[in-house]
Amino acid sequence: AQSVAQPEDQVNVAEGNPLTVKCTYSVSGNPYLFWYVQYPNRGLQFLLKYITGDNLVKGSYGFEAEFNKSQTSFHLKKPSALVSDSALYFCAVTLTSGTYKYIFGTGTRLKVLA
Amino acid sequence: DAMVIQNPRYQVTQFGKPVTLSCSQTLNHNVMYWYQQKSSQAPKLLFHYYDKDFNNEADTPDNFQSRRPNTSFCFLDIRSPGLGDAAMYLCATSRDRGLGQPQHFGDGTRLSIL
């Protein structure tokens, strides 16, 4: 079965420190990988995606993610966290062939402490 | 700015009383999706339209219906809401299905059932 894991329900980080939100996936086939952020009472906002090519992907608001095929991971990173980055983060996967539907992770709540 | 707009943002209805949620888009995207999201869980896909072609998910209850009268608008009808249908309902669009297309989400309608 296809699945996406976000092993941490919550990540706490001090403002100014680097942050990492983890995502691993298990799919049969080649994946397209996405990160979305959700602020309270808002919809999901697209941050970045990996399609092909360079394993390091840069996205909105200073976020980046690294695709690691051997570890089947796509961790979200930011060099210096802001309090305003506090939100719920979802990793999602689709396949390059077959189903186009998103397989979402369970979400990770990021808290950046001032 | 091109966007996805959901109305109303908050909807209260009575148990068993039909309710309609609306979504409009100015992105001219071919695909429109409806998701149900409960308590900061991952969004759950209910159905989607690819142009005029309706695609229901196998586990979407018959109580949920949808209409897409034109490219810009899509409606979610809940025929007889139960207490378990209280949730955030998210509309999303994408230019096409698959092919690594990101989805663009509205800010949702939070539905409460009395």
Q: Scan residues 18-77 of B and list those with Cβ closer than 8 Å to A.
A: 40-43, 45
Q: What is the pLDDT of residue B28?
A: 94
Q: What is the pLDDT of residue A29?
A: 82
Mean pLDDT to the nearest integer, A26-35: 90
Q: What is the pLDDT of residue A99?
A: 65
Q: What is the pLDDT of residue A28?
A: 84
Name the pLDDT band for B103 (thresholds 50, 70, 90). Answer: very high
Residues A66-90: tens digit of each pLDDT: 999 999 999 999 999 999 999 999 9
Query: In this complex, which of B99, B100, B106 lies closest to A43 when CB atoms are compared?
Result: B106
Does the distance separating the beta carbons of A42 and B103 come in below 8 Å?
Answer: no
Q: What is the pLDDT of residue A9?
A: 96
Q: What is the pLDDT of residue B41?
A: 93
Does the distance separating the beta carbons of B100 and A49 come in below 8 Å?
Answer: yes
- B100: which chain A residues are within 8 Å (Cβ-Cβ)? 32, 49, 51, 94, 96
The answer to whether residue A45 neighbours chain B at the CB level (below 8 Å) is yes
Mean pLDDT to the nearest integer, B47-63: 94
Distance, CA of B99 to CA of B48 (rounded, Å): 16
Q: What is the pLDDT of residue A61?
A: 94
Q: Position A105: which residue type?
A: G
Does the distance separating the beta carbons of B100 and A96 come in below 8 Å?
Answer: yes
Per DSSP, the three-state class of B103 is coil
Residues B31-43: tens digit of each pLDDT: 999 999 999 899 9
Q: What is the pLDDT of residue A2?
A: 85
Q: What is the 3-state secondary structure (H, E, C) of chain A?
A: CCEEECCCCEEEEECCCCEEECCEEECCCCEEEEEEEECCCCCEEEEEEECCCCCEEECHHHCEEEEECCCCEEEEEECCCCHHHCEEEEEEEEECCCCCCCEECCCEEEEEEC
What percentage of chain A has pLDDT greater than the value 70? 96
The contacts of residue B110 (CB under 8 Å, 6+ apart) are: A41, B9, B10, B11, B87, B88, B89
- B108: which chain A residues are within 8 Å (Cβ-Cβ)? 41-43
